[in-house]
Structure formats: C-alpha cells, structure tokens
Amino acid sequence: MASIRDVAKAAGVSLGTVSNAINRPEVLAPLTLRKVQKVIEDMGFVPNASARNLRAGRNRVIGLIVPDISNPFFTALAMGVNDAAFAAKYVVILCNTDESTDKESQYLEVLSAQNVEGILITPARETIRALAKVAEKGIRLALVDRPALGLQACSVAVNDSYGGSLALTHLHELGHRKILLLTGSEDIPQVADRNAGIRESMKEISANQLPQIMELRLDSMSASNAYDAMMKKIESGVDFTGIICGNDLIALGAIRALREKNIAVPEDVSVIGYDDIDFAGSASVPLTSISQPAFELGYAAAELIISECENPERHVHQRIEFQPRLVVRSSTAPTKAHRANLRIS
C-alpha cells in the first residue's frame, strides 16, 4: 500500500503539499494539485489515518535543535524562536545536541517521526549533506546561526568572518602583537569562519606590524574547559598580551584563571570574547566582546520556517545575514608599550 511519503516522493512535493491536496486543495496551485491527484490515482493511494493525522499535523509544532542550550547565546536565540512561534500560535520542541552530531541525527529522526511542521537547526558541525538528506524526505528545514550554503532552505546567520576580523583589529589597534587564540575545534563552522576572518584581516597588516597568533584549541567551548586550559597555559608561561576567545563563556573561564594567577586583566593581558551574552557586561571584568543579535536571529528564523509551513506552495527561501559589532568594555586595553608610546607621542 503506497504511503503518503511515497506519493510525495513520486510527485516531487512535500508531505504538506500531499496533505493539502487531500484536505485543502484550494490552497494549491492548479497544476500542482492535478500532479498530486494523478500520482494518488496512479499509486492507488487511499488516505488513511496518517493523512488525516497529517491534516491534524497542521499541528503547529516546530522543532529547534541547538548545540549547547547552557550557552546564554543559544538561550537568547531559543527565546527569539519561542516568541515568534507564540505570536503565530505555534509551539516549539527544543533539542540540545551537546555539540554531538550523533545526537543531532537522532533528534532529526525523532522530530521527523513526530511530524513536526518544520525544524530549525544550528548544526553542531558542518553537516549540510546530512541535512540535505532530511530535506529530501520532505521535512522543512531552516538553519539558524549558520548560512544554508548549498541547502535548499532558509537561513539566518551572522557574518562570523567579519566578527573575527573585528576582534583581531581591536587588539591590534591597542598595540597587541602576541595574541593567543583560545577557541573550539574548526569543525564547528562558526569557529572556522571567525578564524578565517582573523587570517583575512592579518593580510591587511604591514609585515613589520604583524601580530604573532598562537592557537590553543579547546575540546568544548565552555567556561570550565577554558579555565582548565588557561591554568595549564599560564604554568607554561604567559607569552602573549592579548587573548581572542571563541565565545564569551571561554573568555569568562580565561579571566577567572588569569585573576587566580594574579595576572591583571586588562593591564597585563587583554581578553575579548564573542557573543556579548547578557552576563558579559556584569562579569568580574566587564567583557569586551563581539556582539551577535541572538534573540533576533532566532525570531527571524522562526518567522521564516512558519511562513513556509503556512504557505509551502508560495514560499521562497530567504538567506538573512546579520552583521556583528564590537562592544568595548574594560577587559581590553592598550599594551604597556603602546601606552608608553602614546605618552611620548
């Protein structure tokens, strides 16, 4: 017996379109409706509970899959998704992958089986190919905090390459020439893009002013992981005057280690974070950071996926990109040498 998925695949349309052909033919373009009705007839498909459920599957439920809900960046993003969903009378199923691609795959399967109407995802790693397979099954996807690249889907992201260049340029302008890059794996797309931005901005610097960048990779982008790594790094010698951190949690962990080792921030070492989470401004040393509009990212992504759910036939995928911005607080300052030069000049 042909299933509704078989009909969708054969007609080259989404599950929602087959459901609409059965339950709400009036919303479909005539050509599409006739195409689906012919496939239903040819396959002898008889709408059963799954089709009716799919009608009920106008269940106004969307899924949100994020890599680390303990990171206030993703908490704010989830709040944006939730507010946009509430405004459209949708509800959200929140899934946290702990940056695991295995968990991510399992959540995609569970949400598909739940017949959610659409899924928002911040991929834990570069998993565009895996997501393309999910989309082929007729599951509506939209990427949040990640450009869709080759995927036929909406996306809302931040120009992370520009964000990386803002961080490097800020420390360089303060005279820092020995900089530690403390961040996660470059398998994490946001990290790769930020590091690429740092490398790009290095090309704009004259050879005699080039900073030396030392990289220290973390297993996870958490404050505790950064604290442990920094305590070890300090033991081996502080051969840097500035630290560019992969996100604010890393920056907070690094500052905790530096202060425990009586290294003054920013007088001895400047620290810049990324995200500008709510706590950044009230940290033990108010954190200079690269601000991302987390709430707006989530709100915009939810609006896009809901628009697609409401009108699949007329929906056109959109790619939205926000720009990050530098927020200067007291965790960064000119180096001692730079301050001396400023006094002389």
State the DSSP H helix or E strand holding residue 214, giving kind and residue range, or none if neither. strand 212-217
Q: How far apart are CA 155 and CA 83, in angstroms?
A: 18
Q: Binding to ligand RIB by residue 274, rule CB under 6 A?
A: yes
Closest approach of ligand RIB to the CB of residue 68, in Å: 6
Piece of the chain touching ligand RIB by CB under 6 A; list 35-43, 67-75, 105-113, 234-242: 67-75
Q: Which of 14, 231, 19, 248 is nearest to 140 (CA)?
A: 14
Closest approach of ligand RIB to the CB of residue 310, in Å: 28
Q: Binding to ligand RIB by residue 190, rule CB under 6 A?
A: yes
Q: How far apart are CA 184 and CA 197, in angstroms?
A: 15
CA angle (80 as vertex; 331, 112 as ends), nearest 5: 125
Position 182, amino acid: L
Per-residue mark of binding to ligand RIB, 69-108 (x: CB under 6 A): --x-x-----------------------------------
Q: Which is nearer to ligand RIB, 175 or 298 (CB)?
A: 298
Q: Binding to ligand RIB by residue 295, rule CB under 6 A?
A: no
Binding to ligand RIB (CB under 6 A) within 124-153 occurs at 145
Closest approach of ligand RIB to the CB of residue 12, in Å: 35
Contact 100, 123 (CB under 8 A): no
Q: How far apart are CA 111 and CA 8, in angstroms?
A: 18
Q: Which is nearer to ligand RIB, 265 or 277 (CB)?
A: 277
Q: Binding to ligand RIB by residue 188, rule CB under 6 A?
A: yes
Q: How far apart are CA 154 and CA 52, in angstroms?
A: 28
Q: Which of 7, 1, 2 is nearest to 21 (CA)?
A: 7
Binding to ligand RIB (CB under 6 A) within 229-268 occurs at 247
Q: Which residue has the tokens 């393309």?
A: 132
Q: Where along the sequence are the contacts to ligand RIB (CB under 6 A)?
A: 67-68, 71, 73, 145, 188, 190, 221, 247, 274-275
